[in-house]
Amino acid sequence: MNDLSFGNSEKKCLIEAVNVDKRYTTKREMIQVLDQVNLKVLSGEVLGIVGASGVGKSTLLHVLGGLDKPMSGSVSFQGKDIYKQSNEYLDKFRNNHIGFVFQFFNLLPDFTALENAMFPALIQNQDKNLAKERAEYLLCEVGMKDRMHHKPSELSGGENQRAALARGLINQPDLLLADEPTGNLDHHASDQLIELIRKMNKEFNQTFVIVTHSQRIAEQLDRVMELVDGQVGPIREKLVI
C-alpha cells in the first residue's frame, strides 16, 4: 500500500468553474480579467488564492459566490449551474450555502460589531437569542470579546475584518469566501483567525476559499492556486503523510 497520498484525493467537488470569462469595458479600454478560468473547489478543503494586485482575485470570488455573473462559462454548485437558475434560487444559494468576507468589510456603519455579525441570521428569521449567542461566540473566538459593542467607525481595520469574519460564519455556510481576511491583521491576530477557520473546517466540514497576499498564511492552507494573466496558474498541494 502506498503510504503517501495527497490529502484532497478523495474529496468531492463542491463548486466548479468551467471556462469562466469576465471582462470589464470602460470608455477607454476592455479588460479581460478572467480568461477561461477552470477551477474546482473541493468539499472540506481550505483553498488559497494568490496573485498580483488587480489580477482578478476578488472578481473570481464574487463569480464563485453567485454575486457576479460571468460573460461565458459556468459555475456549478453541487452539480447545478447557479447562473442558469432563477433569481430566487440564486438568492437562496447565497443565503443558505455561502458566507462572504469582503475585502473592504461592507459592515453596516450604524450597527455594532455584534449586530453586524447577527444580521445574516436575522435575515433568515432565526431566533434572536440564538443568533446573539452564536455571534458572541464567534466574536470571542476572533479576539473581539471587549470590542463587540462598538460600531465600525470606532474599530480598527483589523477589528472590522474580524467582525466581518464572524458575520460570514454566523449561518454556518457550506462555503466561506474570504477576500484578504488577514490583510489588516498582525501575526497574532492572523493566527487567531486562521485557527478559527481551521476549527470550523474540522468540526463542521466547512469549505473555505481564502484570497491572501501573505506567504505565511498561504503556507498554512491545504491547496494554493495562483491567478496569473486571468488564468489559473500552478496549484500547490500540501502533501499529507
Ligand X SMILES: Nc1ncnc2c1ncn2[C@@H]1O[C@H](COP(=O)(O)OP(=O)(O)O)[C@@H](O)[C@H]1O
What residues make contact with ligand X under the rule CB under 6 A? Answer: 24, 26, 31, 33, 51, 53-59
Min dist. Cβ of residue 51 to ligand X (A): 6
Min dist. Cβ of residue 58 to Mg ion (A): 3
Per DSSP, the three-state class of 94 is helix
Min dist. Cβ of residue 165 to ligand X (A): 18
Cell of 34: 478572467
**Which of Mg ion, ligand X, none does residue 54 bind (CB under 5 to 8 Å by kind)?**
ligand X
**Which of Mg ion, ligand X, none does residue 59 bind (CB under 5 to 8 Å by kind)?**
ligand X
Applying CB under 5 A, does 58 fall inside the site for Mg ion? Answer: yes
Min dist. Cβ of residue 142 to ligand X (A): 23
Specify the residue, 54 or 157, whose C-beta has the smaller distance to ligand X: 54
**Which of Mg ion, ligand X, none does residue 153 bind (CB under 5 to 8 Å by kind)?**
none
Question: Which residue is nearest to Mg ion, using beta carbons?
Answer: 58
CA distance 105 to 161: 6
Min dist. Cβ of residue 180 to ligand X (A): 8
Would you say 131 and 116 are in contact if contact means Cβ atoms under 8 Å apart?
no
Specify the residue, 59 or 206, whose C-beta has the smaller distance to ligand X: 59
H-type helices in the chain, by residue range?
57-64, 87-97, 113-123, 128-141, 157-169, 187-204, 215-218
CA distance 101 to 2: 39
**Which of Mg ion, ligand X, none does residue 53 bind (CB under 5 to 8 Å by kind)?**
ligand X
Nearest to 164, CA basis, from 108, 205, 107: 107
Nearest to 30, CA basis, from 69, 74, 71, 83: 71
152 secondary structure, DSSP code: G
Binding residues for Mg ion, rule: CB under 5 A, are: 57-58, 103
